[in-house]
Amino acid sequence: MKIFTAEQIRSWDQFTISQEPVSSIQLMERASMAVAHWISEHCKNHKKLVVFCGNGNNGGDGLAVARILYLKGFDVDVFVRDPKGSFSEDASVNLKRLRDMSGISVRKFDQGEPYHFDDKTIIIDALLGTGLSRPLEGEYQILIEQLNAKKNIKIAIDVPSGLSADKIFDSDPVILKADYTLTFQCWKRAFLHPETGKYTGKVEVLDIGLNKDYSEKTETAYFAADDSVIEAVFKPRSEFSHKGSYGKAVIAGGSYGKIGAAVLATKSVLKTGAGLTFTVAPQCGYEILQTSCPEAMFIKGGEEFITNFELEEDFTCGIGPGLGTHPDTEKNFLSFLKKYTQPLILDADALNIISKDPQYLRLIPKKSIITPHPKEFERLFGSTANSFKRLELAREKANELAIYIILKDHHTQVITPQGKVFYNITGNSGLAKGGSGDILTGILTSLLAQGYSQEHTCILGVWLHGRAADIAVGKHSKESMLPMDVIDEFGTVFEELNRKTLRNL
């Protein structure tokens, strides 16, 4: 799914109106019907709603939603800035439609109003939408602070009020903290960054039938890796194949006390389909690896840490899990990088070694994949003011070094050398545990060995990692879920993908 800016989405609305037999007020009705349908289906235990509406088209959506939900049997109150004030043309139409009905009160919201709602009253935010260009101030700021102080369920229409769709404000803005955001047609970038996404709650993307030609022809660098993207990337396994069809994957990692990281990465390679799997590890991990991963072949790389990185050219290699940064490991790893030309997957201590000198970045083979978390990224490339600026720096560095960067976060970002960004929308905070990154390294190594392109390896690998975690969390909880529980769900994810792929043939 492409991600467009607020300005592009407004153009999308206008393009739809110009190309199809639909007016702007009809398009607003279509959007409002989608919101009202979602609320009526998901809020059946709640009958009381209050809708806060602005004077623009987002407020027009709210006014229409209030009318539709009232007709569906909900008890609805509406608050506006000034019932006698100036509204957008379409919002004025919906305000008149609302006033023509009995049973719904339209009142002015007042900064001195105490707003005594019972606990089951749902607050619907239709104040500002995507048009915001600066932080809230004045009466809107006071109102949002009052609403945030309430424990009621809050649903934002399109964008929580106070939040910019495309950027982060430099100051500390007041933003509605929604439990749900019902957005139209596509994700907004602000939903996918930690500083701003924390205000959206659960995001539901509602299809309101905007013209598909606009989406197909309009360029963007930003994408959400949704199911349609993944189904296009995934390659079902051929019946007429053999182990040689799916490559040779090797994990180089482990050191005394950190063999578990190599185990997790190796198991991950095995469970995601590589044809032949090898592990380069120190001798101290031999029994552990051969016992826990008997399907993988062991290559001795040292005694208590790896000093020998000699690998065959037809291996696809993931380096870093539990590697350690012993001086001998560091020396031999850097010597290996100076000679090796094939793309690598680099994570954890491999990145920590490279971060010790900016010149080491030039040793990373072109088309390699690196997987830093924010602190590792900072050590590699420098600090930034926020995650938006960090992403732009990642785009710059991916292009400069001709590598793929997987910037790990709640919504992990895949950055290509061409500057494209794919936001992952699977996964949960149960992955915030040591070992989760080792699993991802194994997945990526396996997929690249099987012949996926670097771009597809990154997109599918990150998605698969998150999807397996989403299944595991339902069985174990975010607190108790272990990395091994995630590995155990890879089979379930592949079953889902194969079913969907077969259905779509």
Q: What is the pLDDT of residues 132-162, one digit of tens each?
A: 888 999 999 999 999 999 999 999 999 999 9
| Angle at 465 (CA atoms; ends 499, 368), nearest 5 degrees | 110
Domain boundary among the residues 186, 220, 254 is at 220
Instruction: Write phi, then psi, for 61 (nearest 5 degrees).
Output: -60, -45
Instruction: Write phi, then psi, for 184 (nearest 5 degrees).
Output: -105, 125
Residue 337 structure tokens? 């990088």
Long-range contacts from 165-169, C-beta under 8 angstroms, 24+ separation: 165/5, 165/6, 165/9, 165/130, 165/132, 165/189, 165/190, 166/5, 166/6, 166/190, 167/388, 168/193, 168/195, 168/196, 168/386, 168/387, 168/388, 169/134, 169/135
Percent of the chain at pLDDT above 70? 98
In a domain, 1, yes or no: no
- 134: closest CA among 100, 101, 174, 102? 174
Residue 412, helix vs strand vs coil: coil
Q: What is the pLDDT of residues 71-95, one digit of tens each?
A: 999 999 999 998 888 999 999 999 9
Q: In degrees to the nearest 10, what's the CA dihedral of 387, 393, 397, 400?
A: 150
In a domain, 87, yes or no: yes
pTM, entire model: 0.95
Structural domain for 487, as ranges: 231-503
| pLDDT band with cut points at 50, 70 and 90 for residue 505 | low
326 and 394 in a single domain? The answer is: yes
In a domain, 311, yes or no: yes
Rounded distance, CA 364 to CA 140, Å? 50
Where residue 136 sits, what CATH number does that domain have?
3.40.50.10260
- 431: closest CA among 368, 489, 491? 489
Burial 173-199 (b: 16+ CB within 10 A, else e): bbbbbbebbbbbbbbbbbbbbeebbeb
238 and 212 in a single domain? The answer is: no
Tell me 236's DSSP state.
P
Domain boundary among the residues 174, 201, 220 is at 220
189 and 271 in a single domain? The answer is: no
Residues 6+ apart with CB under 8 A from 196: 163, 164, 168, 175, 190
Instruction: Fill in the amino acid letter for 119.
Output: D
Instruction: Write phi, then psi, for 157 (nearest 5 degrees).
Output: -90, 120
User: Where in 391-461 does DSSP place strands (E)?
Assistant: 404-407, 413-415, 421-424
Tell me 240's DSSP state.
S
Where residue 260 sits, what CATH number does that domain have?
3.40.1190.20
In a domain, 225, yes or no: no
pLDDT at 152 (0 to 100) = 95
Handedness of CA 422, 425, 426, 430 (dihedral sign): positive
pLDDT at 470 (0 to 100) = 98
The mean of the pLDDT values for the chain is 95
pLDDT above 80: residue 373: yes
Query: In what helix (H) or strand (E) does residue 455 lie, and over which residues does it extend?
Result: helix 454-480
pLDDT at 119 (0 to 100) = 86
251 and 170 in a single domain? The answer is: no
213 and 250 in a single domain? The answer is: no
Tell me 306's DSSP state.
B
152 and 270 in a single domain? The answer is: no
Rounded distance, CA 133 to CA 393, Å? 23
pLDDT at 199 (0 to 100) = 97
pLDDT above 60: residue 272: yes
190 and 253 in a single domain? The answer is: no
344 and 215 in a single domain? The answer is: no
263 and 196 in a single domain? The answer is: no
Instruction: Write phi, then psi, for 303 (nearest 5 degrees).
Output: -100, -65
203 and 149 in a single domain? The answer is: yes
Q: What is the pLDDT of residues 434-493, one digit of tens each?
A: 999 999 999 999 999 999 999 999 999 999 999 999 999 999 999 999 999 999 999 999
In a domain, 334, yes or no: yes
Polymer length of the chain: 505
Q: What is the mean pLDDT of residues 96-124?
A: 84
Residue 356 structure tokens? 């010790």
In a domain, 471, yes or no: yes
Please answer whether residues 342 and 368 qualify as being in contact, where contact means their C-beta atoms are separated by less than 8 angstroms.
no
Q: What is the pLDDT of residues 213-255, one digit of tens each?
A: 999 999 999 999 999 999 999 999 999 999 999 999 999 999 9
Instruction: Write phi, then psi, for 47 (nearest 5 degrees).
Output: -115, -15
Rounded distance, CA 99 to CA 175, Å? 29
pLDDT at 244 (0 to 100) = 92
Rounded distance, CA 333 to CA 349, Å? 11
pLDDT at 213 (0 to 100) = 96
How many domains are contained in the chain? 2
Count CB-CB contacts under 10 A for residue 316: 24
Instruction: Write phi, then psi, for 217 (nearest 5 degrees).
Output: -95, -20
Rounded distance, CA 176 to CA 125, Å? 8
Which stretch of 49-53, 132-136, 187-191 has the lowest confidence by average pLDDT? 132-136
Q: What is the pLDDT of residues 274-299, one digit of tens each?
A: 999 999 999 999 999 999 999 999 99
98 and 241 in a single domain? The answer is: no
pLDDT at 504 (0 to 100) = 62
pLDDT at 113 (0 to 100) = 62
In a domain, 63, yes or no: yes
Domain boundary among the residues 160, 185, 220 is at 220
210 and 273 in a single domain? The answer is: no
Q: What is the mean pLDDT of residues 43-50?
A: 92
- 53: closest CA among 24, 88, 11, 27? 88
In a domain, 329, yes or no: yes
Please answer whether residues 343 and 368 qualify as being in contact, where contact means their C-beta atoms are separated by less than 8 angstroms.
yes
Bridge partners, 345 (sequence order): 318, 369
| pLDDT band with cut points at 50, 70 and 90 for residue 114 | low
pLDDT above 60: residue 112: no
pLDDT at 77 (0 to 100) = 93
For residue 112, the number of C-alpha atoms closer than 13 Å in the C-beta half-sphere is: 0
Give rounded-to-5 percent helix, strand, coil for the chain.
45, 15, 40
Q: What is the pLDDT of residues 332-355, one digit of tens each?
A: 999 999 999 999 999 999 999 999
Rounded distance, CA 5 to CA 7, Å? 5
pLDDT above 70: residue 111: no
